[in-house]
Chain A
Amino acid sequence: DQQVKQNSPSLSVQEGRISILNCDYTNSMFDYFLWYKKYPAEGPTFLISISSIKDKNEDGRFTVFLNKSAKHLSLHIVPSQPGDSAVYFCAASEGNDMRFGAGTRLTVKP
């Protein structure tokens, strides 16, 4: 039972353009959402988060949008850089329960 889904296993964008990574969830009780970034041979690292009481959170080139009615969140990276190439995991939590999506591999081409 995958409560958090990332339906695109991979995404390729040109350097300088916008990258949009999407995530859908099924549990309406999730109240906190996070994005993690993972480079090869390393563990995931926290990137940005958003509480369910907000619909947008911005940190530099990274912005996370939350649409609670659609149970959908997205991560926007503008402008994309080659160093952003990594696997991005979406996560959602309800109290002590945190679930991760399967990840989306982003490739930013120079």
Chain B
Amino acid sequence: DAGVIQSPRHEVTEMGQEVTLRCKPISGHDYLFWYRQTMMRGLELLIYFNNNVPIDDSGMPEDRFSAKMPNASFSTLKIQPSEPRDSAVYFCASSLGAGGPRGEQFFGPGTRLTVL
């Protein structure tokens, strides 16, 4: 397996534009997570899915952020409209089980988002 795949790797956009980040989890994993990494707050969980269903989106900063998982092999994180404070590295991760011994998460390489 190629691991978790994220695209694009880098995104530079202007304030107010819509941004869509994409993720392909490892085949067979039933949990998918979206994280944001910033210098100030470290690694923050935004939302996670179990079997394509959103389970906990309490980490989503505000209504400008939305995430979908239409099938087991694809998820998107959308920001509309984007703002400069959204600039960060966004990681997608997947796992077999959400916690405990089966819960080691496999991370993608991340998308570095810069909003000007």
Contact = CB atoms under 8 A, between A and B. Distances in A.
A63 interface: no
A43 B93 contact: yes
B14 interface: no
B91 A44 contact: yes
A57 to B, nearest CB: 12
Nearest to B112: A41
Given A43-B4, A46-B104, A51-B101, A100 B109 contact: no
A44 B109 CA distance: 8
Range of interface residues on chain A? 20 to 34
Nearest to B4: A43
A99 B110 CA distance: 18
Contacts of A45: 107
Given A32-B99, A89-B43, A103-B42, A43 B108 contact: yes
Interface string A87-107: 001000111111111110000
B100 A31 contact: yes
A37 B84 CA distance: 28
